[in-house]
Amino acid sequence: MIPKERIIEEMQRQLNYAKATDDDQAIREALTAVRALCQVVLAGNEMKDEPIITPRTMAISHKPQISSLEGRPLDEEDANGGSIFDF
């Protein structure tokens, strides 16, 4: 985890840049960076005890368990009975 002091230093750097420039777009970008840094600190405080859920873990954990054979042999016209090589 990034120390809060380092994040606050970066916020101050962005604010100093916003104060020093006359470009409206650059000011907006610097303030957007400050907002994002605030959200990082605030979200870090709220989520200390909660597990981190990523799209990958969501896809794995919500996958239904489906068995294609369901314990029964596959019955097809060209099958060889109970052979493990039936496709």
- Summarised one tens digit per residue, pLDDT across range 52-69 is 555 555 555 555 555 555
- Is the pTM here over 0.85, yes or no? no
Any residues with CB less than 8 A from the CB of 5 and at least 6 apart, and which?
none
Measured between its terminal Cα atoms, the distance across the chain in Å is 51
Per-residue model confidence (pLDDT) at position 77 = 73
Give the 3-state secondary structure of residue 82.
coil
